[in-house]
Structure 1
Amino acid sequence: MGRPRTPIGTFGVIATRAQPRGNYVSKARYRDWDGKNRLVQTTGPSRSAAERNLKQKLAERTLYQPGFNGMSADSPFSELVAYWLEDIKIEDRLSRTTRNLYERDMRTLVLPAFKDLTLREIGVARCDYFLKHLAKRSYSRAKHARVVLRLALALAVRHEILPRNPMDHVSRLHRKKTIPDAFTIGEVQDIRAAIKAWESRRILAGPRPDRQLGQIVEVLLGTSARIGEVLAIRLQDLDLEGPIPTARIAGTIVSRKGESTHRQDHPKTDRSVRRVALPSFALHAIRTRLLRTGETDPDALLFGTRARTPHTTNNIRRLLREVTDDTGIENVTPHRFRRTVATVVNDAQGALLASELLGHTDPRITMQHYIQHKETVNPVTAAHLEQAFGKAG
């Protein structure tokens, strides 16, 4: 049997010698990450200083080994970014939309601040400082930057380029508590009236509005669906003749750079696939739409352009703002209708049903971000307290 090899990351006897100019040099054989023995040396003004420098260099060499991709802790951060983007593309676990968002966030938010640094220079303090200052300008941007920076550095740890992820120890981001904004019933009626007036106005030139905007709003209110989910409803997703008319939410509209707007065959999450009972006002809007189009193809979209292509979500948002601009109601967005539905259902039946309707995986998400809480406590509490503590006679 041959002589057993020393483990990777270990070194032999340190030899220290004086140099002609008064410095000392310390040397040792080191078994490197690829299994080969290499000579490592350092200098110092004294024997002990040279040996301390050598031991520190060997310790750093053990911690920061080159990965199997050829990168090391001394590689530039931009090189890791390119490697990370390629890795998530190969892994193919994320949707293309998510990958595009990650790449945008990395290139616009993180890379400008870290492009001139090596991986070794990216520590906890630097990451913490970066995120806190970004959060002062925008909590949302800091949150997005934190996600992609953590993921990229985690890849460096998994591939043994870095010993630890500095993002594991940065302080938490804190945002000011915001109250979810929902429409009042009166505001919903004002929005309906504004849309009806716009759709009924006389047009001297160009095509008249085909009343889709009002019908889309009714379906938003009747399903709690996201705007992309409503625009992705196909005729085959509708069951209007059963004892309980329903719409199946099973897709969304996607607009990506370099691609035409199209229907994606799944919504935001698996839990978001759901079949929703339709209230009469939403059912009426859908039947009116079908009667107007005369469409019978099961694959056809319920709402679409005159060219039979999907609407973009941004165009519907823009049109909704323009039409309701004179109502005096601020922040008229499709997502605010979703919060309004969540608030109404919560007030009637609680957060669990509201969460189920919205397709959330956790009722806490619904409570925190979608339900507008009322200051007034249920007055029934007064009756209970009167019964318990009221004075007799």
Structure 2
Amino acid sequence: MPRQRMAPGEHGRIAERSSGGKFFASTYVRDADGKRRRVERSSDKSAEDARRLLQRHLGTRRAPLDAQVVNDKTTLSELFEQWIEGKVKRGEIKPQTENQYRHVWTKHGDCQLGALRIRELETPRAHSHIQSVAATTPAQAAYLRLVLREMYALAVRFGVMQINPIVGTATAKRNRKPVRAVSADEFATVRAAVADYTRSRDGKGGPRPGRLLPAFVEVLAATGARPGEVLALRWSDVDLLADPPTVTIVGTLLDHGAAGPLHRQDERKHGSPAHTVVLPRFGVEALTEMVGQSGMDGPVFATRDGGWVSLANLRRCLRDALPEELSWVTPHSFRRTVGTVIRDAHGSAAAQQQLSHTELATTERHYLQRVSRGPDVRVALDKFAGQQSGDRK
């Protein structure tokens, strides 16, 4: 009767031999690719020790993967490049996201872990490194963990690893500051400070600092749009003669790293659909004034040459204009402010709709200032206390 063929993953009888005072244990393994390979381990102690070493190796052994792009000899730096290039090629991430991932890996991963081979980074070491980064920059640690987890997911798909060692690491804790909205009195102070700032060089020659800053603040507060979305507005997106007047947000402005020089991206964050908002009176007035500065063609917020305006420049101007007590206010603060104002007047669902969030939880957690005052429930509590008193009599 012919000998039964080994199934993939099985090995044959372990043979032992000795030579020159050294002990060897060997066997043949049929790998997942169907090929039969000889595997051997040695020991200076005894044949039994050599056998134990071989059995231990067979428990974790993988078939040689030299022909694969990712194999057990691939370093983490090489794995990162394979992973990020695949994401870009498949169109899964935008240039600004690629730039963010590369920045995190270069700063916190390449020099510290990059020379390790895939199987050499175990969960305890990965966890320790992520937490050490989190001690100083929690946000960067969260991105590093995401990058490593997806890199090792690729290694699992290639069969180099059975489990993803990053899954067992703890998420980097981020201490989120409470959502803070600008109050009506504070908004009046912001407006006055911005107006004073833009007049600071009148009569001194040269361009006024923050020429577009007042209108920028007004449109942010009138729409609740992201700063980059406001700066990406074109006059073709604005309809001041409609009833009611509207702006439609269909793009965003990018100005960093791999995203290239300052340019307009013709879609919103996460590829969200176009979003139309109704303009309040003060928003209409601000945009009407802008018509005289930039005409009705091209960008709403335009440089003197008709180009796009950098958010970094306006952010710096706002920071310089505000008094110390309002130094916490940034362009993004107005998005939280609009959400909070609408929540207080019309409810959380209306705030979610204005800010164009897919999930209400996102609006409530990140964009609405927490309400810390309870409702007026005196009648219910008095009734409860009265009933209890009557029961005791």
TM-score > 0.5 by shorter chain: yes
Q: Which moved more, 1:382-391 or 1:118-127?
A: 382-391
Alpha-carbon contact 2:231-2:309 (below 8 Å) kept: yes
Deviations 1:56-96 (A, max 9, x none): 2222223x752753432243211211221222222222111
Deviations 1:199-224 (A, max 9, x none): 23423121235842111111100110
Q: Which residue does the alignment assign to 2:274?
A: 273
Unaligned runs of 5+ in 1: none
1:316 to 2:317 alignment: no
State the distance in 1 between where 2:104 and 2:20 align: 55
Structure 1 pair 346–10 and aligned structure 2 pair: CA distance change class (3 A): same
Q: Give the alignment of 1:14-93 within 5 angstroms.
A: 14-21=14-21, 23-44=22-43, 45-62=45-62, 65-66=64-65, 69-93=68-92
State the distance in 2 between where 1:271 and 1:385 align: 46
- The amino acid across from 2:40 in the alignment is Q
Q: CA deviation at 1:262?
A: 0.7
State the distance in 1 between where 2:72 and 2:141 align: 25
Deviations 1:306-327 (A, max 9, x none): 1111111111111111122x35
Q: Which residue does the alignment assign to 1:252?
A: 252
Q: CA deviation at 1:390?
A: 6.1
Deviations 1:211-266 (A, max 9, x none): 42111111100110111000011111112222211111110001133632111011
Secondary structure of the equivalent of 2:377?
helix
Secondary structure of the equivalent of 2:253?
strand
1:200 to 2:199 alignment: yes
Q: Which moved more, 1:305-314 or 1:74-83?
A: 74-83
Q: Which residue does the alignment assign to 1:284?
A: 285
Q: Which moved more, 1:68-77 or 1:332-341?
A: 68-77
Q: Which residue does the alignment assign to 1:382?
A: 378
Q: Give the alignment of 1:164-243 within 5 angstroms.
A: 164-201=163-200, 202-208=202-208, 211-243=211-243
Structure 1 pair 46–190 and aligned structure 2 pair: CA distance change class (3 A): same
Q: Which residue does the alignment assign to 2:148?
A: 149
Deviations 1:150-197 (A, max 9, x none): 111111111212211111111233333531122121111101001112
What is the RMSD computed on CA atoms of the aligned residues?
2.4
Q: CA deviation at 1:279?
A: 0.6
Structure 1 pair 102–37 and aligned structure 2 pair: CA distance change class (3 A): same
Q: CA deviation at 1:9?
A: 2.9
- The amino acid across from 2:328 in the alignment is N
Q: Which residue does the alignment assign to 1:159?
A: 158
State the distance in 2 between where 1:343 and 1:272 align: 23
Q: Which residue does the alignment assign to 1:137?
A: 136
Q: Which residue does the alignment assign to 2:329?
A: 332
Secondary structure of the equivalent of 2:373?
coil
Q: Which residue does the alignment assign to 1:103?
A: 102
Alpha-carbon contact 1:272-1:358 (below 8 Å) kept: no
Q: Which moved more, 1:180-189 or 1:43-52?
A: 43-52
Structure 1 pair 203–37 and aligned structure 2 pair: CA distance change class (3 A): farther
- The amino acid across from 1:57 in the alignment is H
Alpha-carbon contact 2:88-2:94 (below 8 Å) kept: no
State the distance in 2 between where 1:210 and 1:75 align: 51
Alpha-carbon contact 1:33-1:66 (below 8 Å) kept: no
What TM-score comes out, normalization by structure 2 length? 0.90
Structure 1 pair 115–314 and aligned structure 2 pair: CA distance change class (3 A): same
Structure 1 pair 185–382 and aligned structure 2 pair: CA distance change class (3 A): same
Unaligned runs of 5+ in 2: none
Q: CA deviation at 1:294?
A: 2.5
Alpha-carbon contact 1:250-1:267 (below 8 Å) kept: yes
Q: CA deviation at 1:384?
A: 4.6
1:11 to 2:1 alignment: no
- The amino acid across from 1:31 in the alignment is R
- The amino acid across from 1:222 in the alignment is A
Structure 1 pair 12–233 and aligned structure 2 pair: CA distance change class (3 A): same
Structure 1 pair 111–210 and aligned structure 2 pair: CA distance change class (3 A): closer
Secondary structure of the equivalent of 1:165?
coil
Q: Deviation above 6 Å: which 4+ runs of structure 1?
A: none
State the distance in 1 between where 2:292 and 2:124 align: 63
Secondary structure of the equivalent of 1:106?
helix
Q: Which residue does the alignment assign to 2:356?
A: 359
- The amino acid across from 2:301 in the alignment is F
- The amino acid across from 1:277 in the alignment is V
Percent identity, aligned pairs only, is: 32
Q: CA deviation at 1:29?
A: 1.5
State the distance in 1 between where 2:67 and 2:353 align: 46
State the distance in 2 between where 1:88 and 1:313 align: 28
Count of residue pairs brought into register by the alignment: 384
Q: Which residue does the alignment assign to 1:343?
A: 340
- The amino acid across from 2:255 in the alignment is S
